Amino acid sequence: MKCLLTILVCMMGVFGYAQKWVVKSNLLYDVTTTMNVAAEVSLSPKWTFDMSANWNPWDFSANKKWKQLSFQPEVRYWFCETFNGHFVGAHLLGGIYNMGNWNTGFTFLGTDFGQLQDYRFEGWMLGAGIAYGYQWLLSRHWSLEAEIGIGYVYSRYDKYECPHCGDLLEENKPHNYFGPTKAAINLIYVF
């Protein structure tokens, strides 16, 4: 958590000249116990820069793992004015993960999540995408935002025999993914 706060403070220092900036939390990540924080700064009357950081360090019961650390910078163009109404964005993403022992049993856009029941996957990812969103003003300092994005993610991972202590089965294996790369319902505080 200290790492996430340090990144946020550094971002605020770099973009300290901006007239308007916000901090936010993605409520969808909160539901999955993923700690997250984002900051967004106004660059001009119609452009903003958003940076989010997400961290899930937990081991769940029965040694279930869905550990991740990821970052997602995004440049946004607002159709009306910054921090109000419709926007489109272009984002990058990157991170590391360690997942296993989940009984999911489904395949989504070419990725077999059913393998998470019998194997553990540990690796890194990089990607890019585009997004659309809308922000509602609730009061002078509070807003609510919804956003959805699609894109491409390249990943490399090591695959282990079982979620606990199994032998290494595959090393440095590549994986390509195209599909949703961002989903957010953000609660926002505007400074």
**Domain locations in the chain as residue ranges:** 2-190
- φ and ψ at residue 157, rounded to 5 degrees: -145, 160
Q: How much of the chain, in percent, has pLDDT values that exceed 70?
A: 88
Beta strands in the chain (DSSP E): 21-26, 35-42, 47-56, 59-60, 64-78, 85-100, 107-108, 111-112, 120-137, 142-160, 168-190
As its CATH architecture, domain 2-190 has: Beta Barrel (2.40)
Question: Cβ distance 69 to 50 under 8 Å?
Answer: no
Tokens 């609660």 label which residue?
Answer: 187
> What pLDDT, on a 0 to 100 scale, did the predictor assign at position 149?
98
Residue 4 has pLDDT above 90, yes or no: no
* Nearest alpha carbon to residue 16 among 137, 165, 191: 191
Residue 40 has pLDDT above 70, yes or no: yes
Tokens 């973009």 label which residue?
Answer: 15
Q: How much of the chain, in percent, has pLDDT values that exceed 90?
A: 66
Contacts of 22-27 spanning 24+ positions with Cβ under 8 A: 22/83, 22/143, 22/188, 22/189, 22/190, 22/191, 23/188, 23/189, 23/191, 24/145, 24/186, 24/187, 24/188, 24/189, 25/186, 25/187, 26/52, 26/54, 26/184, 26/185, 26/186, 27/185, 27/186, 27/187
For 35-56, what is the mean pLDDT?
97
Going by pLDDT thresholds of 50, 70 and 90, the confidence category of residue 109 is confident
Going by pLDDT thresholds of 50, 70 and 90, the confidence category of residue 18 is very low
pTM across the whole model: 0.83
Going by pLDDT thresholds of 50, 70 and 90, the confidence category of residue 62 is confident
Q: Which is more confident, 166 or 149?
A: 149
Going by pLDDT thresholds of 50, 70 and 90, the confidence category of residue 104 is confident
